[in-house]
Amino acid sequence: MRVPMVLLSQSLRPASDRVFIQNGIGGGSFDMRLIRFGPPQKEKPGVVSSSGQRLDLSAYFRDWDADFFGGGGMEQLRSLLKSKNDSAFPPVPDEERWGSPIARPGKVICIGLNFSDHARETGMPIPAEPVVFMKASNTVVGPFDPVLIPRSSKKTDWEVELAAVIGKTARYLASAVDAAACIAGYCISHDVSEREFQLERGGQWTKGKSCDNFNPLGPWLATTDEVDPQSLAMELRVNGVVRQRGNTRTMIFGVQELMRYLSQFMTLEPGDLISTGTPPGVGLGMKPPQYLKVGDTVELKIEGLGEQRQICTEA
């Protein structure tokens, strides 16, 4: 699917209050917005300039992967962008596919029922501790790739979420300050869910969360100095109708607390992806419930993190 250029230009319009890296040559400026582009399994790394142009950095970096995040890559990237202006990097052709902004993560960890009003709409109690479940890492795809409706599915649902990407190994973090230092950045995550598989077929939630293409990610990864993760407006539309609207300030457990909490049970590694929960308005909570079908269009946006758009197709 080729993404309409009107959508791309709107998604990439730089915010007036965005933090820029001032370059030492030519007086240009960059956001630290990491992207990947190209065919599936063959994506290359890049960034988005302050003017909204995608730029190819594959001559300098192999990929935005665990080795990059764990090996001081963010510092190397920041130094590179300070030393050059955007004319030093080849532009990415408009027709090139948008990949997920990070390579396939080692783990995709999700938090359920992390917005109190979302918990109420699903008829579930407010959790005393974070509800943790896993999602298969091969669900991660680009922000404009199709949502695949699983065969026999009748209850494929939508969920807009803020995702955090781990930047350094984290074990037994002692505080929120320690947790903040382990986060590389933030992006939009579409935690697509099949509710029958998740809730009516026994076992854990994983099989309702892990169908092909069930985690569109991006369009870009914004670094931690660009956004306040606890004050971001979120919205999701289905066929142009607003279904979800919320703000990360209403999370039960904040992003940094989630990182600290998770590190008590498992080691978080560079490149791991943490989806932090969804606001109210999912199809499951509607009366009567409504779900995605082939041909539907889903659009997601989070303040400062761009927009996604997917068309639902048959698996």
* Domains in the chain with CATH codes: 5-88 (no CATH), 108-314 (3.90.850.10)
* Cβ contact 277:261 at 8 Å: no
**Cβ partners under 8 Å of residue 59, min gap 6:** none
Q: What is the pLDDT of residue 30?
A: 59
Is 0.85 topped by the overall pTM? yes
Residues 145-168, mean pLDDT to the nearest whole number: 98
Q: Between the ranges 20-24, 85-89, 93-97, where is the mean pLDDT highest?
A: 93-97
* Cβ contact 261:178 at 8 Å: no
- Strands 131-135 and 108-112, by their bridges, are antiparallel
Residues 75-79, mean pLDDT to the nearest whole number: 96
Please determine, for residue 154, whether its predicted confidence score (pLDDT) is greater than 80: yes
Residues 206-229, mean pLDDT to the nearest whole number: 97
Please determine, for residue 24, whether its predicted confidence score (pLDDT) is greater than 90: no
Residues 122-127, mean pLDDT to the nearest whole number: 83
Residues 11-17, mean pLDDT to the nearest whole number: 35
Residues 246-255, mean pLDDT to the nearest whole number: 96
Name the β-bridge partners of 217.
189
Q: What is the pLDDT of residue 173?
A: 98
C-alpha dist (Å) from residue 145 to 53, 140, 196, 214, 297: 20, 10, 23, 10, 11
- Selection from 189, 198, 157 nearest residue 285 by Cα: 157
**Cβ partners under 8 Å of residue 209, min gap 6:** 110, 133, 134, 135, 136, 139, 191, 192, 193, 194, 198
One-letter amino acid for residue 9 of the chain: S
Helix (H, G, I), strand (E, B) or coil at 189: strand
Whole-angstrom distance, CA of residue 57 vs CA of residue 239: 35
How confident is the prediction for the chain on average, in pLDDT? 90
Please determine, for residue 277, whether its predicted confidence score (pLDDT) is greater than 70: yes
* Cβ contact 213:305 at 8 Å: no
Q: What is the pLDDT of residue 136?
A: 98
